[in-house]
Structure 1
Amino acid sequence: MEAKNANLIKKHNLRSLSLSWPVSRDLSWRISSNESSSHQNDEEILSALQPHSNLKKLCIFDYQGLMFPYWMMDLLLPNLVEISLENCERCHQLPPLGKLRFLKVLNICRISALKYIDDTFYGDMESSFPSLEVLSIREALCLEEWTTANGREHFPLLSSLTIESCPKLVKLPMIQSLKQLYIRGTNVTLLTPLIMNATVLTSLQISDFNELPDGLLQNQKQLDTLSVLSCSLKSSSDLLDNLSCLKYLNIQGCSIESLPAGLQNLSSLKSLDLDCDSLVSLPVNGLQGLCSLSSLYILSGNSLASLSEGLQYLTSLQDLFINGCPRLTSLPRSIQHLTLLSLLDINGCSNLMSLPQGVRNLNALETLRIRGCPHLKRRCKKVRGEDWPNIAHIPSIDIFNQDW
């Protein structure tokens, strides 16, 4: 057999191994009458490709066997540091990877037959996954339960967890050491226990949830970065309450007309990205507490018709991006109070008629970029444009890539 002739078990200097099966045959094994021989062939090939025990990184792609080979199940690769198992659709059980003392990164993706991650996954070690730092489980569409290690310590060093597109998953272990959590397209009942138990989170991304439970982030005193993507977010939500350490906030693709009231309490916030088509307005008083904000990005589609005069409270603002707001006809006069503003970028605001006269008072403004704003293009023409006196002091002006 060609696989056996590779004699990988003798290659003691081999540190990284990637094994991939042809993607083009994915459909054929589903409809072939020889389906059983297809997966048996894969199992025989992978069994024959046992690498040397010195291997540190193993990646397996598009394997269609029903089970992993003995050298994975018996853990004959004790020095592994990183494992990726992707598109191994028919495997219904994971190897006892918890016994790998040096494993730091584990990526599991598209294992459709996997329904349960049970005690065998952890092995019989007193401490399972003692070195694991990064774990990702994605597109496990049939996964229902991920149980704990029956009283034994597990994941003591795990700092980053990704759970994506696992719609049937209703149970998973609570991991207190998490610092980064990315969760998307899973059962909403997982959110509260998972996040409430992870009390040292510094970065959190939540995506594709129809509703977010109240009190979800009440324990997150160390949260530094928060992204809320494609969720149904209510203006009355308490999501942003008590996040005194939050520095970076991204709200994108959420069905929300106005921002949660807790925004005004984010005194440490440095960067705010808003990309929501339904956003109608920015709160006048809601911006008052953002004394540390240095970067603001706004993209709101057809809903946003005006910007809040509350911009005047953003006294630390250095970068302002206004993108894709065709209903916007003017900028607030209070923009003149943004004395530290160094970059103003306006893109796709086709009905924006002019720039406020107060722009001429922005002595720190170094760069002005304007694209997709036909009225501004005309008014900001060098010397001849009506708004030219307001922007003539700016060192770098870029309008439709014209060289100034």
Structure 2
Amino acid sequence: MHGLLHDLAIFLAGDFYCRIEELHEQEKKKILTRHLSQLPNGRLDHPISKVFKSIVKSESLRTSLYIDDLLSMKSRASKLKYLRVLSFCRLGALPDSIGKLIHLRYLNLSRTFVNTLPESLCNLYNLQTLILYKCSNLTMLPNGMHKLVNLRHLDLRGTSLKEMPRGISNLKMPILDYFVLGKHKDNGIQELGGISNLEGSFEIKKLENVADVRQARSARMSEKNHIDKLLLEWSWDREMVSNTETERDILDGLQPHTGLKELRIKRYIGERFPDWVGQSSYNNMTSVTLASCKNCCMLPSLGQLPSLKSLRIEGFRQLKRIGDEFYKSDSDHHFLPTAPFPSLEELVFREMPCWEEWYVPDPEAFPQLRRLVIKYCGMLKGDVLNSILWRRVSCLREDDEGRSDEMVGGGDALSIRACESFNARSNWLPKSLQKLKILWFPKFEFLEHKYDLVELRIRYSCDSLSSLSLDVFPNLKNLEIIKCRNLESVSMSEAPHSALERISIYDCPELVLFGGEGLAAPNLTHLTISDCPELVSFAGEGLATPNLTHLSLIRCGKLEALPRDMKSLLRNLHSLHISGCPNICRLAEGGLPPNLKELHVGFCKQQMRDLSWMPNLHALTHLTIVGCHCDSVTSYAEVGSLPHLPSLTTLKICSFPNMETLECNELLHLTSLQQLHIKYCKKLENMEGEKLPSSLLLLIIEDCGLLGEHCRNKHQLIWPKISHIPTVKEIQGGLSRESQKIMKLLGTWVLWGAQSRTSSSMGCLILYIRRVILNNGIRAWFSAPWKGLPIGWIKSLSFCHQIIDNYFFTISFHTPTHSSLTNPAKSTFSLSFIPEF
């Protein structure tokens, strides 16, 4: 409901509506309340049992949403006899007293933990809607369900029902999403024949309980014209059948109406599909999924479906060849002579270990194909991906489709992923291609001719590539290379390369030379080279990149010098990051660029002790000094080591393992300094000199145990040097003191293997974690963050998980009782978990 309409409804309801959270403010009004609700994440200052105790004085209550107190419901349900709408959360069992609410129209038990429903539920003759969505523990429905003659909507999705109750066809329900076939006549496939008004999405499960084609036809599926999406599913643990023709006849007898839009068939064990699967008369069919059909040796003729956009073929373990039969059928009299798969945009093949050949008879096939996924098809020959498919798809993959960084676009973009069994050359690429991403494709080869690409990303691919000339990409704007293990040089001879804007090179162990004789890229703004241990030098003439703003050089162990003439050639450089380059003795001749604002220097032992090599950088505002491997430094900063930095506002000093003393006087000439962050200096405990600069507004001491303790206790030798600073923060283990207090309260909930950090952007606690142990020893494993939480025990503990991105998700949970934060058993916490890979 739109917010304005919601507010209007509340206004018009007046004293007849109230939220549970507000009841303590409306004690005199609650006697009139007809509609009572609580926000799912609402917090109460008093138990809901007290709420019920007060409102049952009035017998006028019609609506009650989000009830989580079972005991209150048991004892007072008989007094709420006019209740029409009831919604539960965090419920383990539905009490027998539910049958006394004879006026109930709507009952929502979704995501609760009930495993059975009481027979008294069948006394609710006025019930119209019963929601059991994702009640994963529910295995049986009451035997008397046929008594609910007014039931119009029964949502069984996500349940674990073993079979439907008998006589379900007596209920004239237009909304029934799910039917589990039993072995008896009054709960088997014949029951579906009596349900004619189904609409929307419908699933039929346990089709192994259909004995023959006569029973299958008794379902009269072809007459159910309002079903848009249909799932036909057999069980996993089904025994092998001796007569696969009978299986084919049963599926043939389940033929749906020709207006169907989506079809899924799972675990069918016949060897061939009946003719109706793929028949061109299904001209509204947009999506087909055939999964785990392990005996099938031939695909149906799906190429003649005129509107088909998405096709998934999975788990065909006997199929060896895809031939003509996949594209058309001679027996289909409705077939029109058009290109096969005229509308198909997405094609997925998975888990087909015997598949060897793929025949594409028509060069006009797949005219709209944009995405092709091939996974776990180890026998497929690489040459099947001929130029027909290469020129059609925008995403070719042999990997799982759940990756976040997939690039899927129109005809100008192509993503090739994890095609280890294929050989490919770049002359197969479409001429119009502008964006190319190659991932885990070691056998891809670039040929020496020019391309119109504007974006090229190579990751874990192109093993034969030893040198890359940027001259063949005259329009290239963005170049990214990751783990190209035999690449030795990236060069350019034709100048200038005016389109180039970004270059990123990571983890290329053989890269020796970057830039060749000269790199002229007037519009290049970002250059990053990381984890290239053999890189010795840059272009001999320097980098002619006047608009370069960010330069990062990380873990390039043999790099001897920075680019030449940086002060004149890189006048617009704003950010310079140098880390793990120990052989750079001093910076570039002539000094650093005058407009540099951010400088990060770390893991470079020769530069750390004495920073006098730094010229006067008048524009520098942020300086980070990381002293790893500088074991000999016990006092910092040493006399005269810091240059004159008049604009510096932020200074970070990190990871000096043996540093014991901070020299305050050496920082006094940093007259603009506002933030000082000292991190991972575990032996630091002293401050020498008068005091820290008077301009400081914030001092952060992180994981410096001794100094942190002195500041916290206002040590007589330390406190006078920092007492003038408005904000002093101590952080231990990545947690502020406030978060540490919360962590202590969580001690009974999160007990094992957690490393913690704060996240100011998310405003909540973050745990880097492999698993946790919850209350009562229950363990939660986090192997796949997007799949939620595989926890069977949640009674007084409720989880609400929300995906933030592919690696983060939040969990909000309530402890068993309600009260303030001062009591660890009465609090509500929100955490974000990141699985540890």
TM-score (norm 2): 0.38
1:244 equivalenced with 2:474 (yes/no): yes
Q: Distance in 2 between matches of 1:227 and 1:162?
A: 18
Q: Is the contact made by 2:442 and 2:463 (CA closer than 8 Å) also made in structure 1? A: yes
Residue in structure 1 matched with residue 344 of structure 2 by the alignment: 132
Residue in structure 1 matched with residue 432 of structure 2 by the alignment: 200
Q: Is the contact made by 1:327 and 1:351 (CA closer than 8 Å) also made in structure 2? A: yes
1:169 equivalenced with 2:355 (yes/no): no
Match for 2:422: what amino acid? N
1:276-295 → structure 2 map (5 Å cutoff):
276-285=507-516, 288-295=519-526
Q: What is the DSSP-based 3-state SS (H/G/I as helix, E as strand, rest coil) of the residue aligned with 1:361?
A: coil
Residue in structure 2 matched with residue 274 of structure 1 by the alignment: 505
Residue in structure 1 matched with residue 305 of structure 2 by the alignment: 100
Q: Is the contact made by 2:467 and 2:487 (CA closer than 8 Å) also made in structure 1? A: no
Name the CA shift for 1:172/1:214 in 2 (closer, same or farther; >3 Å): closer
Which structure has the bigger radius of gyration? 2
Moved more, 244-253 or 201-210: 201-210
Match for 1:132: what amino acid? L
Moved more, 67-76 or 269-278: 67-76
Name the CA shift for 1:236/1:193 in 2 (closer, same or farther; >3 Å): closer
Q: Is the contact made by 1:269 and 1:290 (CA closer than 8 Å) also made in structure 2? A: yes
Q: Distance in 2 between matches of 1:304 and 1:104?
A: 48
Q: Distance in 2 between matches of 1:349 and 1:41?
A: 71
Q: What is the DSSP-based 3-state SS (H/G/I as helix, E as strand, rest coil) of the residue aligned with 1:130?
A: coil
Q: Distance in 1 between matches of 2:251 and 2:646?
A: 69
Name the CA shift for 1:98/1:343 in 2 (closer, same or farther; >3 Å): farther
Q: What is the DSSP-based 3-state SS (H/G/I as helix, E as strand, rest coil) of the residue aligned with 2:480?
A: strand
2:199 to 4, 9, 12: 12
Name the CA shift for 1:302/1:360 in 2 (closer, same or farther; >3 Å): closer
Structure 1 residue 268: Cα displacement: 2.0
Structure 1 residue 341: Cα displacement: 2.7
Q: Is the contact made by 1:281 and 1:306 (CA closer than 8 Å) also made in structure 2? A: yes
TM-score (norm 1): 0.71
Q: Distance in 1 between matches of 2:298 and 2:501?
A: 45
% same residue: 27
Match for 1:130: what amino acid? P
Moved more, 258-267 or 338-347: 258-267
Count residues in correspondence: 388
1:216-227 → structure 2 map (5 Å cutoff):
218=449, 220-222=451-453, 224-227=455-458
Q: Is the contact made by 1:360 and 1:393 (CA closer than 8 Å) also made in structure 2? A: no
1:314 equivalenced with 2:545 (yes/no): yes
Residue in structure 2 matched with residue 389 of structure 1 by the alignment: 643
The C-alpha deviation readout for 1:118-157, integer Å capped at 9, x for no partner, is 2232235512222233445466554433222446x32222
Q: Distance in 2 between matches of 1:87 and 1:344?
A: 54
Name the CA shift for 1:108/1:318 in 2 (closer, same or farther; >3 Å): farther
Match for 1:246: what amino acid? L
Residue in structure 1 matched with residue 13 of structure 2 by the alignment: none
Q: What is the DSSP-based 3-state SS (H/G/I as helix, E as strand, rest coil) of the residue aligned with 1:206?
A: strand
Moved more, 378-387 or 343-352: 378-387
Q: Is the contact made by 1:281 and 1:308 (CA closer than 8 Å) also made in structure 2? A: no
Structure 1 residue 287: Cα displacement: 5.1
Q: Distance in 2 between matches of 1:297 and 1:160?
A: 31
The C-alpha deviation readout for 1:274-304, integer Å capped at 9, x for no partner, is 1243233233436524333222221234323
Structure 1 residue 344: Cα displacement: 3.1
Q: Distance in 2 between matches of 1:19 and 1:325?
A: 57
Q: Distance in 1 between matches of 2:517 and 2:253?
A: 64
Name the CA shift for 1:213/1:54 in 2 (closer, same or farther; >3 Å): same
Q: Is the contact made by 2:525 and 2:547 (CA closer than 8 Å) also made in structure 1? A: yes
Q: Is the contact made by 2:514 and 2:537 (CA closer than 8 Å) also made in structure 1? A: no
Match for 1:389: what amino acid? P
Q: Unaligned stretches of 5+ in structure 1?
A: none
Name the CA shift for 1:353/1:214 in 2 (closer, same or farther; >3 Å): closer
Q: Is the contact made by 1:367 and 1:396 (CA closer than 8 Å) also made in structure 2? A: no
1:254 equivalenced with 2:475 (yes/no): no
Residue in structure 2 matched with residue 344 of structure 1 by the alignment: 576
Residue in structure 2 matched with residue 182 of structure 1 by the alignment: 415
Structure 1 residue 319: Cα displacement: 2.7
Q: Distance in 1 between matches of 2:652 and 2:250?
A: 59
1:302 equivalenced with 2:514 (yes/no): no
Q: Is the contact made by 1:271 and 1:293 (CA closer than 8 Å) also made in structure 2? A: yes
Q: Is the contact made by 2:425 and 2:446 (CA closer than 8 Å) also made in structure 1? A: no
Moved more, 276-285 or 255-264: 255-264
Q: Distance in 2 between matches of 1:348 and 1:261?
A: 24
1:147 to 359, 362, 365: 359
Q: Distance in 1 between matches of 2:263 and 2:602?
A: 47
Which is bigger in relative contact order (C-alpha 8 A, separation at least 6)?
1
Q: Is the contact made by 1:111 and 1:140 (CA closer than 8 Å) also made in structure 2? A: yes
Q: Distance in 2 between matches of 1:376 and 1:21?
A: 68
Name the CA shift for 1:398/1:381 in 2 (closer, same or farther; >3 Å): closer
Q: Distance in 2 between matches of 1:114 and 1:263?
A: 51
Name the CA shift for 1:384/1:267 in 2 (closer, same or farther; >3 Å): same
Q: What is the DSSP-based 3-state SS (H/G/I as helix, E as strand, rest coil) of the residue aligned with 2:326?
A: helix
The C-alpha deviation readout for 1:51-98, integer Å capped at 9, x for no partner, is 77666556677x474657546444686434445566666544333332
> CA RMSD for the aligned pairs?
4.8
Q: Distance in 2 between matches of 1:80 and 1:245?
A: 41
Q: Is the contact made by 2:600 and 2:625 (CA closer than 8 Å) also made in structure 1? A: no
Structure 1 residue 349: Cα displacement: 4.5
Name the CA shift for 1:149/1:315 in 2 (closer, same or farther; >3 Å): same
